[in-house]
Chain A
Amino acid sequence: MANVIVLLEAKDASTLRPACLRAITFGREVSQTVGGALSLLLLGHEVGKLGEAARGYGADQVYVVDDCSLTPPLAERIAPTLRNVALLANATIVIAAATAFGKDVLPRLAELLDAAFVSECIGFEICSNDLLWRRPISAGNAVAYCKSESAHTVVSVRHTEFEPANAKLDFSPIEVLQAAKAEPLIDRVEPIGFEIVESSRPDIAEAHIVVSGGRPLAGRFFQVLGPLADALGAGLGATRAACDGGHVPSDYQVGQTGRVVSPDLYIAVGISGAIQHLSGIKGARIIVAINSDPEAPIVSIADYALIGNLFELVPDLTDELNRRKRDT
């Protein structure tokens, strides 16, 4: 038996990030399998409303730590508090979504707990009484099963592999706890700015359809792909080459070093299909490649490939979509 705690994240003052709702689903599956309690933890400042929201997911307990030192979130401050709460809750499995936040904080927590860290977990199973965690390695070219040999286990979950948890009718009990004391020697990172990537389009980790572009689009990236994404109600992503070209914010990057997506439909425009990019789209249900090169690696794995001039095909496809939308 092991108790499970899931670290939640705020999207804004009153909503939880969709990624952590998916992490709750994973956490519940784990706690049900190992037969332990499930608790949720919310860290931040003035998070009262969110704490209330967190009560609605059927966990055995919700913990809230409300402290001005926890925002903006810095690993040096979050990890010690998280450790204290995990110990207090007697939770030996600590889970959070593999967002940039989770990836920053969880390995630090693992070291503080002398614990194993399972990165980007996509599932688990019980095998001769051992709990085995499943995770992709080498850009998703292999899947490994690993076993924790420490008392605690810290897990970042590839949340796109799981459905968001639904709110339930009953409310979990809530307990407010203190933040760990700041340690001046460690606490030397000073946030001085934040540049938000504004987008009116859906977040690619959540979108049902993602349109992504590669290097050939260059300076015409938004001009060509924007109307298609809007006609589909899609999120917009890009390859590393497109981001490095400076025409697209780095937040758009999909792949091993960027973000992982698992939409119903992924439309890859002018993307050759490097191993590192394919790593981020393995969960997509249908992949469409629009490419000038019929020999591009992506064509060999795409469900549908449209071959020809991108700068003609994409506007034609957009017009076709808009025409059919008008007709129905």
Chain B
Amino acid sequence: MRILVPLKQVPDPDSANKLRVSNDNLRLDNTAIEKKTNPFDECALETALRLTEDARSPRQRHGEVVVVTLGPSDADVTLRSALATGADRAIRIEASDDQIDARCVAQALAALTLREACDLVLIGKQSVDGDSNEVGQRLAARLGWPQVTFASRIVAQHDSRFEIERAVDGGTQTVAVQTPVVITVDLRIVGPDAVRSTHTPTEYQYIAGLRFASLPAIMQARRKPLVVMTLDNLGIQLTRCLRYVRYEIPPSRIGGRVLSNPGELMNLLINEAKVL
């Protein structure tokens, strides 16, 4: 099994309230915010690692995990840290943010998926900056593959068949799917029992969350392959279809009264706020 995990570098979501807009409202200014890997994509990487290992000896991969990002050389940090966490190799497709939209990303990823002969793409269900929840579904459509979105649990039955739990309106749906497939993951996919490979014993419980790279692994990651490609290498011509023309920072809510008595709160909700 060869898994492609696309990673997006985003402004740290915990500092999103430091976002600013240029005076002419034409540009978003996030230069003051540290960059990190989109948390949903980090979960997709963790999922890929869990699916390709026996958790008792996680240094040996059963299959291959390829990480990819689109961006300038700054984005190499994201790829190096993925390599240190356990990915086998990395590809950066040279592109700049103002040149591409979600459709372009799907175009580039589709070309790469075919070129690398991947049979599974694992990707975060949304990026925390764009919040569009779009690329995975577009990629599946473009490849002519099925899609399983919002996955919260994946059980591999064998290397090419999975049972997947996904969040739908009003509950949880379970589906079975054969590869090739695009799966978009929810943050819950990193629970102790959320991903089962065919190699890890069923009773094994992971520590909830993402794994950390050890110092030797970080050193070793420098020797793992990181290839830079251009869109020309992939033989594609991007056609964007959505353009952001203006931004605003919404007015922030201002706190009101601090109380200590439930009766007083009741009175205010009835008489002042008029919501009861």
A147 vs B257: C-alpha distance in the bound complex, in angstroms?
Answer: 41
Q: Which of B14, B40, B135, B175 has the most CB of A within 10 A?
A: B175
* Residues of chain B contacted by A193 (CB below 8 angstroms): 173-174
Segment touching A, from B44-52, B164-172, B210-218, B227-235? B164-172
- The distance from the CB of A261 to the nearest CB of chain B, in whole angstroms, is 14
A299 vs B269: C-alpha distance in the bound complex, in angstroms?
Answer: 16
Segment touching A, from B77-85, B87-95, B185-193? B185-193
* Residues of chain B contacted by A142 (CB below 8 angstroms): 19, 21, 28, 247-250
The answer to whether A120 touches B17 (Cβ under 8 A) is no
- The distance from the CB of B245 to the nearest CB of chain A, in whole angstroms, is 5
The answer to whether A119 touches B265 (Cβ under 8 A) is no
* Residues of chain B contacted by A118 (CB below 8 angstroms): 242
Segment touching B, from A42-50, A56-64, A105-113? A105-113
Looking across the interface, which residue of chain B has its beta carbon closest to that of A141?
B16
**Contacts A75-B137, A100-B168, A111-B106; A149 near B240 (Cβ below 8 A):** yes
A320 vs B248: C-alpha distance in the bound complex, in angstroms?
Answer: 42
The answer to whether B133 touches A103 (Cβ under 8 A) is yes
**Contacts A75-B149, A141-B16; A190 near B266 (Cβ below 8 A):** no
* Residues of chain B contacted by A320 (CB below 8 angstroms): 262-263, 266
* Residues of chain A contacted by B14 (CB below 8 angstroms): 274-275
B114 beta carbon closer than 8 Å to chain A: no
At the interface, is chain A mostly helix, strand, loop or mixed?
mixed
> Which of the residues A108, A138, A191 comes within 8 Å of B175, measured between beta carbons?
A191
The answer to whether A100 touches B167 (Cβ under 8 A) is yes
A119 vs B131: C-alpha distance in the bound complex, in angstroms?
Answer: 8
- The distance from the CB of A136 to the nearest CB of chain B, in whole angstroms, is 7
A300 beta carbon closer than 8 Å to chain B: yes
B71 beta carbon closer than 8 Å to chain A: no
The answer to whether A100 touches B269 (Cβ under 8 A) is no
B116 beta carbon closer than 8 Å to chain A: no
> Which of the residues A103, A147, A285 comes within 8 Å of B245, measured between beta carbons?
A147
Q: Sample 17 A-B pairs with CB under 8 A, ordered by A number.
A: A72-B173, A183-B144, A186-B144, A190-B176, A191-B173, A194-B173, A195-B171, A195-B172, A251-B170, A275-B17, A282-B250, A282-B253, A301-B252, A303-B257, A305-B256, A307-B258, A317-B265
Nearest first, the 8 closest Cβ-Cβ pairs linking A and B are A107-B137, A111-B141, A193-B174, A150-B241, A317-B262, A116-B242, A301-B253, A119-B132
